[in-house]
Amino acid sequence: MESVREAGGGVTGTVLMRFVWTHGGRNVFLSGSFNRWSELIPMSPVEGCPNVFQAIYDITPGNHQYKFCVDGEWRHDELQPHSTTEYGIVNIVQFNMEANFNPEMIPGSSMELDNEAFTRLVSVSDGILTGGVPSISEADLQVSRHRISVFLTTHTAYELLPQSGKVVALDVDLPVKQAFHILFEQGISMAPLWDFSRGQFVGMLSALDFILILRELGNNGSNLTEEELDTHTISAWKEGKAYLERQIDGHVWPLPRHLIHAGPYDNLKEVALRILQYKVATVPVIHSSSEDSSFPQLLHLASLSGILKCICRYFRHCSGTLPILQLPIGAIPVGSWVPSIGEPSGCPLVMLRPSASLSSALNLLIQAQVSSIPLVDENDSLVDIYCRSDITALAKDKIYTHINLNEMTINQALQLGQDAYSSHELRSQRCQMCLRSDTLHKVMERLANPGVRRLVIVEAGSKRVEGIVTLSDIFRFLLG
C-alpha cells in the first residue's frame, strides 16, 4: 500500500508529501487536484525495488484526488483509498494543517474535483480514463521550432556528406530486370538515374517502381511481359509509367517530371522541405562547377534521417533549450494512430495479418500512399512489418518470375527474403518500437539511427499496435 506521510517542511502553508506506486512500469507519472491536473510529475524508481516508484510534492491543506499515469495509461492504486467520480476512479488523501500534523487518507470521501482542469488532462473513453499527457505552451512550442529552424537554415547539405562512402547510380538504358538485381545485390532500395546522351541525372529508380512492375506483370491485360523485362529499359518504363500517371478521368494531363535534387550549399531546411513537399525518401546532392550545370557530380543521397541526426547531435547537450523534446510522443499531433472507441479517425493506420496475400500488401502500399504496413496477430499485437523496400528481396534468384502475388502470403514473402535482411539490414532495425509515453527526444534519437525510418507505437507488455510515427511525421511537426 502506498504511504503518504510528512517528509519535511515545505513552502509556507504546505507539506512535502511522498507518493508511492508499487505496481511496476517503465515510465510512471503522478498528477492530481493539488497541481490542478496541469502537469504530470515524474516518479523515480526506488533503488533496490524495481517495481516501486516515488515522488515528493508540496501539498496544501485540504482534500485531494490523484492518479498515476503508467506507460501512457491512467491507473489508480486499488490498495489505497479511492473514490468513484464521474471521471472514473481516483485515489484520495485529506489532511489539515495542525501543530501535530498527521495526514489521513479517507476512504470514500466525497470531494469537489476541478472539472475543467481535469478534463484538459484526461478524457473518458468507454468508461476508461485515458490519454493523460503533459502539455506545452504555445510560446514554448514556437521557441523550440524557431531554434530548430535557425539551426537548419545555418547548416548546409555539405555537412551530410560522409567522410567516405559510395553512391550507386544507374544508366537509363539499363534493362529494368538487371537494374533491380543491382538494387538487391547492393542492398539499396533506390538509385539515381543517369542519362548519358543528355549528360545529366534525370530521375530515381525505387522499390515502388518494382512494385508497380510486378503488379503490371500480374495484370492479364498488361502490355509488359516477363520476357520483355530483359530488354525493357529503365527509360522506357519511366515513360510508360508517366503516361499512366497522367491519365486522370480519361484525360491525359501534362505533368512534367523533373529530378528533385539539392546542391551541397543548400541549407538543411530547404532540403527537408523539398523532401516533404515532393514526398520522396531521398534527394540527390549534385554539384557542378560550370554555370550551365554540365558535368554534374553526384555527392550523396540526402535523407530526413541524416538531417535528424544533425539535429540530435547539435542539441544533445543542450536539449533543455527545446522544451518540446520532453513531451511524450502521445502528447503531440504526429503519426498515424488506431482511433479509440468513439473517436473519429484522422490519419488512419493500416494494418494486415501475416497471412494476407502479398498482392493485398502491395496494393495497400500504393493506395494508402504509405511506405510500410505493421503486421499483427488476432490480438492486434505486432508481429512484423512489411516495407516497400522488402520487395527487392524477390529479385534474388529471380523469385518474382515463379510466384503468384495473390497466392503468396506476406509471411512467405518475408521468409524468402530473410537472407537479404541478415546481409543488408539488421532485422531489429526493420521493426523498431516505442511507447506513447516515450519522449520526443527519445523517438528522434532512435529515428536518427541508420536504417530506421519509422517506429511502431505499441502498448507496453502486450505489444498491441497503437500507432506509427515516421521521419516525415517528426519533421512536419518540428517545422510547423
Rounded Cα gap, residues 378 and 356, in angstroms: 12
Model confidence at 474, pLDDT cuts 50, 70, 90, reads: very high
Give residue 92's pLDDT: 81
- Burial letters for 275-284: b for 16+ Cβ neighbours within 10 Å, e otherwise? beeeeebbbb
Give the SS3 label for residue 380.
coil
Give residue 308's pLDDT: 96
Has residue 10 got a pLDDT over 50?
A: no
pLDDT higher at 98 or 284: 284
Residue 445 cell numbers, joined: 534519437
Give residue 346's pLDDT: 52
Q: Which residue has the cell 533496490?
A: 48
The arithmetic mean of pLDDT across residues 313-341, rounded, is: 84
Which pLDDT tens digit goes with each residue over 439-457? 999 999 999 988 888 999 9
Say what the pTM is: 0.69
List the Cα angle 279/283/286 in 5-degree steps: 155
pLDDT higher at 244 or 455: 455
To the nearest whole number, what is the mean pLDDT of the chain? 79
Of the listed ranges 90-99, 161-170, 184-193, the least confidently predicted one is 90-99
Give residue 398's pLDDT: 78
Cα–Cα distances (Å) from 214 to 181, 363, 394, 400, in that order, read: 14, 11, 10, 8
Of the listed ranges 128-137, 168-177, 232-241, 346-355, the least confidently predicted one is 128-137
- Please, are residues 172 and 349 in contact by the beta-carbon 8 Å criterion? no
pLDDT higher at 131 or 126: 131
Can you point out the beta strands (E) in 307-417?
A: 336-337, 372-376, 382-387
Give residue 271's pLDDT: 97
Percentage of the chain modeled with pLDDT above 90: 32
pLDDT higher at 317 or 305: 305
Has residue 120 got a pLDDT over 70?
A: no
pLDDT higher at 425 or 244: 244
Which pLDDT tens digit goes with each residue over 42-89? 888 877 777 888 887 878 877 888 888 888 888 888 878 888 875 578
Which value, in Å, is the radius of gyration of the alpha carbons in the chain?
A: 27
